[in-house]
Structure 1
Amino acid sequence: MAKVFKRICKGECIMPFKLSNKNTTALAVTVYNEDFAVVKEKRNIEGYNEEEYVHYMDVSEKIETDSVIVKGLTIQELNFDYDLVEKKKLLKKYIDRTVYLVDREKDTKQEYRLLSVDDGLVLEDSKTNEIILDPKEELILPKLPDGLIVKPSLIWKVKPSKTDLVDVTYTTGGLKWHSNYVINLKQHTLDLTGWVLLNNQSGTTFENAQLKLIAGDVNRVHDSITSLYEKVPYEASMVVQSEANFEEKSFNDYHLYTLQGKTTLKNHQEKQITLLDKENISFKRYYEYSFGEEQADIILEFANTKENHLGLPLPKGKVKVYSEDASDKSLEFIGEDRIEHTPKEEIVKLSLGQAFDIVCETRSTDKYKEGKNEYFAYEYVIKNRKDEEITMVIDHPIRHIHWQMVDTTHDYKKINANTIEFNIQIPANQQATIQFKYRVNKSINVNL
């Protein structure tokens, strides 16, 4: 069992038991999409027979103190000490106290009184009372002042206990994750690789931790003050772990991903871990156009099913799509989109950009009244300038409730009460014209 200790200072002041991460026997971190995580930790502690203070060190700088759960100890009072050591803060603690100036070349050490640190150092010679401004010599402080700590810590006042293990759970900010996906688009199938990108800005390194990820939008109440620390610029290092394996399961209306094995999440580090790697996924490619738009959108669509070599919950994230240039076998970027959290057995639909070689024209061709009815006629002209046949999907909005189709050149599908959809094939280097007319009973109709 790892040892903890206490010190007795002058005046019979009892310093607390100190529990650092060296006492840790188990560590688990569950990271959420929304910039927070839950830390679960077990540490060894010696039993004691009197009321004591426990100094629980090496916690996250962005800990939410109202989230702390402790098992194994009966806590009467909890404090969070975060007055961390900083140069100016440290110097201010020594104003009107004794400090020393050391000249290493001359091997001298002189005693001074620190007067001010606001606009440079101002010192008074303890022997001559001379005032020294911004000395060149090395400034030595006797010791770390009371009240300043190197790392944020929890201080607990606890009742007597014979336990040898304390179990602590808390929520912290500064940790987040999201998914990124890469598609290699082939002639008839695609390959899909998914990555998890973890970012640790909690101010703490989590060594040898069991890692879990929660996918889903968890509701949280945000206070006006969200952190004890201001956000500052940082340079994050990137670590790529390409042979990891996550085990996925449904968990309380969310999805839980558990990394097989353990990992270390260093402070100011981004870590990229493989989430999935699937091949030979069938897809559909078509073009989509709606009334009033200028160009047709390029759509890539595939089924998230086992039959299609997938069938996994896909956390939300950005999807980049590449396609091979047959002339030199190199991959070229052809577009990207975002997906929301997508359950299995659903369709993934990506919009990659706007088609260069497809020209779309639309216009209102007629509008007139006959008695209680009003008639509306439209025309779509789609020109396929590509050297291959295309599938074209056209959505047309109808801004009336009580309408009825009177005439149409093509079959259509009613998507909802106010949208119809035409799905047509257009041969290479040809064009198609869609014409339709619908009637609205104005005596009962309400415009949308």
Structure 2
Amino acid sequence: MTLYRDPDRGDGAIDRNRPSSFALISETRTVTLPPGEVTVRFEGVASGIVPQSAILFGTDPRERNRDAALLSQKGLVDAFTGQSVILRRTDPATGRTVEEPATIRSASDRLVVTTPRGTEAVYCSGLNQTLIYPQAPATLSAKPVLSMLTKDQPGGRVTITLAYIATGFDWDATYVGTLAPDGKTLELLGWMTMASGDDTSFVEATTAAVAGRINRSAATRDDSGSRIKAEASSLYKQAQCWPMGNTSSGLNPPPPPPPPPPPAAPMMMEMAAGNIVVTARRREEKAAVVAEAEGLGDLKLYRIPVPVTVAARSQKQVAFLVKDAVRGETVYRTVMDERPSPIDKLFRFRNRKDNGLGDPLPAGKAVLYQEGEYGRGLIGEASTPDKAMNEEVELAFARANDVTIETQEPASAKAPYVLTIRNANPFAVTFEAEFHNLGHTYRGLPGRLIAKPGKRVWRTTIPPNDTARLSYRVDRPRDN
């Protein structure tokens, strides 16, 4: 299995019920074929299979068919329409369970049957009712099936491989970083979360995920598998029964009971002299299996080195990045649009091997912690787009409250703005002001600015418990 990330999802989370991307699935089987044209049935393919994407290797295919008749309640009703079944229900007079013969007459709008008592709609009495079928029709399959008709071939024992695209999959990258107390190194652990919304489990599969954006044709966006599943479960049990409701309809239900109290945390607590002392041991995060990165054209493929089971309607996490010390710096930054924006706190590094990384970073969210006097604590969350090697990476994880900025408005049109930046930390900090090219012209900026794509950056170091000042003038474009 090779899973692809949905690029249109952006920073949003994976939809657990309906993952919005796809996977490339291939399976190899050794079979004995008789000579001539042979129909090979592949049972247990993904229910979200895109049939027109299927390719068969090992023998030449002539025709392919997606067998859409699934074993379901609606499939059974459709197969037995006009035939005899057993209706099991609760007798309203005695309360006993009784069985009687019935004939299915219609299931287009309501499930209607004929019994010795007359014609009635099933599931409308308010009591337990169900249908018992004499057998499972041969036309219905309990698993999704794709059949391939081969060309005329000599027969014998051959190894064939079926490859196809299936919708209903997705994957995401999540990073867990621990910032050193001095803010100059980051311990980084990357997790690959694979999501399956399919009804088929793939046991002990060789699994990989592809990072980056690929061109995808409209043909591979076929969602007929999901439509087939929806149609198979579309036997209405409660609609269009008459009379609708009862004497309690419309009344508000009683409120649910309050949730039980949370269980006590697994740590030792000691009460002494009116103080509570809490002690705990940090659990070291060690990844037993780490996905290996490979080149795939302009993309990056992360292959899990051991077979794993991608279960139906589930999620699985595997580590793909483990770095002990990524060297960078903590920066306080404001973005200028005449006036400064609130100050963001970010960790910036260059994605190079000499900085402790040097691996592509797939797009995803990051959760950052920092080591302190009392252990590791959460300091913020960030996100990053896809980053290649040698690119600059910025993880903006928090709004600063230890570095503040004050703006002095100009007294006249030719007077400058004056910014006062205060550092309340007992250590020096790096501060940057970004001036974007948004139509304003900034003049009178002190010193030499750093040129970056689409912007210029004023950068300074503010000593501990000290201030810095920045003055500038703004020339606004004149209206024509």
TM-score (norm 1): 0.78
Paired amino acid for 1:209: A
Deviations 1:408-432 (A, max 9, x none): 544433435x743211122222222
Larger radius of gyration: 1
* 2:293 maps to which of 238, 244, 248: 248
Paired amino acid for 1:114: I
Q: Distance in 2 between matches of 1:40 and 1:241?
A: 31
Q: Distance in 2 between matches of 1:342 and 1:136?
A: 58
How has the CA–CA distance of structure 1 residues 50 and 175 changed in structure 2, closer, same or farther, with 3 Å as cutoff?
A: same
Q: Distance in 1 between matches of 2:463 and 2:30?
A: 74
How has the CA–CA distance of structure 1 residues 138 and 181 changed in structure 2, closer, same or farther, with 3 Å as cutoff?
A: closer
Mapped pair 1:317 → 2:380: no
Counterpart of 1:21 in structure 2 is none
Counterpart of 2:343 in structure 1 is 296
Q: Give 3-state SS (helix, strand or coil) of 2:137's partner.
A: coil
How far is the alpha carbon of 1:346 from its aligned partner?
2.3
Q: Distance in 1 between matches of 2:442 and 2:133?
A: 88
How far is the alpha carbon of 1:47 from its aligned partner?
2.0
Counterpart of 2:5 in structure 1 is 33
Counterpart of 2:417 in structure 1 is 378
Q: Give 3-state SS (helix, strand or coil) of 1:38's partner.
A: strand
* 1:393 maps to which of 404, 415, 432: 432
Q: Distance in 2 between matches of 1:263 and 1:149?
A: 26
Question: Quick check: which one's strand share is greater?
Answer: 1
Q: Distance in 1 between matches of 2:452 and 2:372?
A: 37
Paired amino acid for 1:201: G
Mapped pair 1:412 → 2:449: yes
Q: Distance in 2 between matches of 1:101 and 1:202?
A: 33
Counterpart of 1:264 in structure 2 is 309
Q: How does 1:12-91 map to 2 (within 5 A)?
A: 29-34=1-6, 35-91=21-77
Q: Give 3-state SS (helix, strand or coil) of 1:229's partner.
A: helix
Q: Give 3-state SS (helix, strand or coil) of 2:32's partner.
A: coil
How far is the alpha carbon of 1:318 from its aligned partner?
0.6
Deviations 1:274-332 (A, max 9, x none): 11221122220120012234421111112322222221111111111011341x32x22
How far is the alpha carbon of 1:333 from its aligned partner?
1.2
How has the CA–CA distance of structure 1 residues 120 and 249 changed in structure 2, closer, same or farther, with 3 Å as cutoff?
A: closer
Paired amino acid for 1:298: K
Q: How does 1:161-172 map to 2 (within 5 A)?
A: 161=153, 162-163=155-156, 164-172=158-166
How far is the alpha carbon of 1:54 from its aligned partner?
2.2
Q: How does 1:14-413 map to 2 (within 5 A)?
A: 29-34=1-6, 35-100=21-86, 111-116=101-106, 119=110, 122-125=113-116, 139-161=131-153, 162-163=155-156, 164-188=158-182, 189-222=185-218, 226-229=223-226, 242-291=287-336, 292-326=339-373, 328-329=374-375, 331-362=376-407, 365=410, 377-397=416-436, 407-413=444-450
How far is the alpha carbon of 1:62 from its aligned partner?
0.7
In 1, are the aligned partners of 2:113 and 2:119 still within 8 Å (CA)? yes
For structure 1, which segment, 158-167 or 294-303, has the greater mean C-alpha deviation from structure 2 after superposition? Answer: 158-167
How has the CA–CA distance of structure 1 residues 419 and 312 changed in structure 2, closer, same or farther, with 3 Å as cutoff?
A: closer
In 1, are the aligned partners of 2:110 and 2:121 still within 8 Å (CA)? no
How has the CA–CA distance of structure 1 residues 87 and 398 changed in structure 2, closer, same or farther, with 3 Å as cutoff?
A: closer
How has the CA–CA distance of structure 1 residues 207 and 366 changed in structure 2, closer, same or farther, with 3 Å as cutoff?
A: same
Q: Distance in 2 between matches of 1:404 and 1:120?
A: 74
Q: How much is the aligned-residue C-alpha RMSD, in angstroms?
A: 3.5
Mapped pair 1:421 → 2:457: yes
Paired amino acid for 1:278: K
Q: Distance in 1 between matches of 2:438 and 2:36?
A: 77
Paired amino acid for 1:153: V
Q: Which has the higher contact order (CA 8 A, sep 6+)?
A: 2
Counterpart of 1:17 in structure 2 is none
Q: Percent identity?
A: 24
In 2, are the aligned partners of 1:362 and 1:380 still within 8 Å (CA)? yes
Paired amino acid for 1:159: K
In 1, are the aligned partners of 2:104 and 2:111 still within 8 Å (CA)? no
Q: Distance in 2 between matches of 1:110 and 1:101?
A: 5
How has the CA–CA distance of structure 1 residues 419 and 365 changed in structure 2, closer, same or farther, with 3 Å as cutoff?
A: farther
How has the CA–CA distance of structure 1 residues 395 and 79 changed in structure 2, closer, same or farther, with 3 Å as cutoff?
A: same
Q: Give 3-state SS (helix, strand or coil) of 2:75's partner.
A: helix
How far is the alpha carbon of 1:58 from its aligned partner?
1.0
How has the CA–CA distance of structure 1 residues 222 and 160 changed in structure 2, closer, same or farther, with 3 Å as cutoff?
A: closer
Q: Give 3-state SS (helix, strand or coil) of 1:365's partner.
A: coil
Q: Distance in 2 between matches of 1:376 and 1:397?
A: 21
Q: Distance in 2 between matches of 1:347 and 1:51?
A: 58
Q: Give 3-state SS (helix, strand or coil) of 1:320's partner.
A: strand
How has the CA–CA distance of structure 1 residues 93 and 185 changed in structure 2, closer, same or farther, with 3 Å as cutoff?
A: same
Q: Distance in 2 between matches of 1:430 and 1:308?
A: 30
Q: Give 3-state SS (helix, strand or coil) of 1:310's partner.
A: coil
Q: Distance in 2 between matches of 1:43 and 1:241?
A: 36
Paired amino acid for 2:103: R
Counterpart of 1:9 in structure 2 is none
